[in-house]
């Protein structure tokens, strides 16, 4: 009979291997957040590891206005704090209808559908719409949720080199004709490199090869476009994108996600998307908070301008300090390479008051471990001006770390 210790021996061994490869992860509970700071082990640290791009998560005036309005709208009295059912039962409360109509109106689409998270959306949409007779063309650096959704669909998957549209065109020319439906999927701002997709080129290719185009705007929502609707809006291509997906969990400091598109597709997802059908709905107060924020996003243009200027200034300072970085957004990856040096640099910068987490394989390719600097609109230049010099010093000190 297998003993308790023997039963889990393989898991212990694999965890030890991760530790030896500097890829082991553990949870670090944050004690509290105060504006641009988070507290870890009672130490206040400038938070450079959050997706709260507009700085809304700790905006007390915004929270006060929201909670003051709840009494007038009776959202808690009418619906309680939990949905207690899936959307197809009694979980599809009135705030959902208002939120989805607002999304559809903002994106000038026929309909929209809200989900519990971005991962939940990407995991369910692709398998609902595509099958074994279909084909998916995916940027190689797309988020894990898009890759997992593509694999679950059973469709043939081709991954083109990152932002290499010649490679994508070659794959489309070679393989599109062998399948019933085809879809191109891409992030608009890539979460680990901070670079931008050329949407116009993807629209051209999808049109020429009779494919759909699915764009994940998770890291662009709120921070790009004149109304903060994302890169699709900034590049004036919303009507050309078949499916626009985004989240409330990043710049909008909440929970949930959505897709906007033609009504027939939205109705099809309601009927066919298993993660949607079999998941308890979001709490009504969260849906109402999402609606409250979405209505205000167009008015945050000053925050968007400040964030872009801050990102440009800091990225330039890193380059002038001789450090390797990428992208052109509020996400600034500081490429280090080896995992152990990345971990060491993160710890040294924490000692100096900056919270940065090492990003290592398998999240990023081998030998591209990095510090992912995620800027937010509540930061100023004085908060980060010393970071390039301190980072260069930390990397120099860590060169000979075994």
The pTM of the whole model exceeds 0.85: yes
ω into residue 158 within 30 of 0, thus cis? no
- Radius of gyration in angstroms for the set of CA atoms belonging to the chain, rounded to a whole number: 22
- Please report the pLDDT score of residue 72 as a whole number: 64
Structure tokens at 55: 């700085």
- State the Cα–Cα distance between residues 267 and 113, nearest whole angstrom: 9
**Residue ranges of the domains in the chain?**
24-54+300-397, 74-298
Q: Is 188 helix (H, G, I), strand (E, B) or coil?
A: coil
pLDDT band at 29 (very low <50, low <70, confident <90, very high): confident
Q: Is the model's pLDDT at 322 over the cut of 90? A: yes
* Residue pair 355/345 in contact by the 8 Å Cβ criterion: no
**What is the reported pLDDT for 365?**
87
Least confident of 50-54, 71-75, 174-178: 71-75
pLDDT (mean) for 252-280? 97
pLDDT digits 0-9 by tens, 341-361: 999 999 999 999 999 988 888
Other C-beta atoms closer than 10 Å to the C-beta of 74 total: 9
Phi, psi of 354 (to 5 degrees): -115, 130
Lowest-confidence range among 39-43, 45-49, 172-176?
39-43
Of residues 371, 378, 385, 372, the one with CA closest to residue 313? 385
How far apart (Å, rounded) are the C-alpha atoms in residues 319 and 315? 6
pLDDT above 70 (res 279): yes
**Distance (Å, whole) CA 120 – CA 72:** 32
Query: Across-strand partners of 159?
Result: 138
What is the reported pLDDT for 81? 81
- Please identify, in words, the CATH class of the domain defined by 24-54+300-397: alpha beta
CATH classification of 74-298 is 3.40.640.10, yes or no? yes
Please state, in angstroms and rounded to a whole number, the distance separating the CA atoms of residues 353 and 228. Answer: 31
Lowest mean pLDDT among 85-94, 142-151, 264-273, 325-334: 85-94
């Amino acid at each position: 009979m297998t003993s308790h210790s023997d039963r889990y021996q393989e898991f212990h061994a694999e965890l030890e291997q991760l530790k030896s490869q500097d890829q082991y992860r553990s949870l670090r509970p944050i004690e509290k957040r105060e504006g641009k700071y988070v507290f870890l082990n009672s130490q206040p640290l400038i938070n450079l590891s959050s997706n709260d791009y507009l700085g809304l998560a700790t905006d007390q005036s915004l929270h006060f206005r929201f909670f003051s309005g709840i009494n007038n709208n009776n959202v808690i009295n009418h619906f309680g704090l939990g949905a207690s059912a899936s959307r197809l039962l009694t979980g599809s409360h009135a705030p959902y209808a208002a939120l989805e109509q607002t999304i559809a109106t903002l994106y000038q689409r026929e309909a929209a559908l809200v989900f519990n998270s971005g991962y939940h959306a990407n995991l369910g949409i692709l398998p609902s719409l595509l099958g074994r007779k279909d084909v998916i063309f995916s940027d190689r650096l797309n988020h894990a949720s898009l890759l997992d959704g593509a694999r679950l669909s059973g469709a043939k998957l081709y991954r083109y080199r990152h932002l290499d549209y010649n490679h994508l065109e070659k794959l489309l020319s070679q393989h599109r004709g062998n399948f019933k439906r085809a879809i191109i999927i891409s992030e608009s701002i890539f979460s680990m490199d901070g670079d931008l997709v050329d949407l116009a080129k993807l629209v051209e290719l999808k049109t020429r090869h009779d494919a759909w185009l699915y764009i994940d705007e998770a890291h662009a929502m709120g921070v790009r476009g004149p109304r903060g609707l994302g890169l699709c809006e900034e590049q004036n291509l919303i009507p050309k994108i078949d499916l626009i997906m985004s989240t409330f969990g990043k710049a909008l400091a909440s929970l949930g996600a959505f897709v906007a598109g033609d009504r027939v597709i939205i109705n099809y997802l309601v009927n066919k998307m298993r993660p949607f059908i079999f998941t308890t709905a979001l709490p009504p107060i969260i849906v109402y908070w999402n609606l409250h924020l979405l209505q205000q996003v167009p008015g945050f243009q000053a925050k968007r301008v400040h964030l872009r200027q801050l990102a440009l200034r800091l990225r330039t300072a890193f380059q002038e300090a001789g450090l390797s970085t990428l992208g052109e957004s509020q996400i600034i990856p500081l490429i280090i390479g080896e995992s152990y040096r990345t971990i060491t640099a993160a710890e040294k910068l924490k000692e100096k008051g900056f919270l940065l987490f090492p990003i290592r394989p398998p999240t990023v390719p081998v030998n591209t471990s990095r510090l992912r600097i995620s800027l937010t609109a509540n930061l100023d230049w004085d908060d980060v001006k010393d970071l390039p010099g301190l980072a260069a010093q930390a990397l120099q000190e860590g060169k000979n770390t075994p």
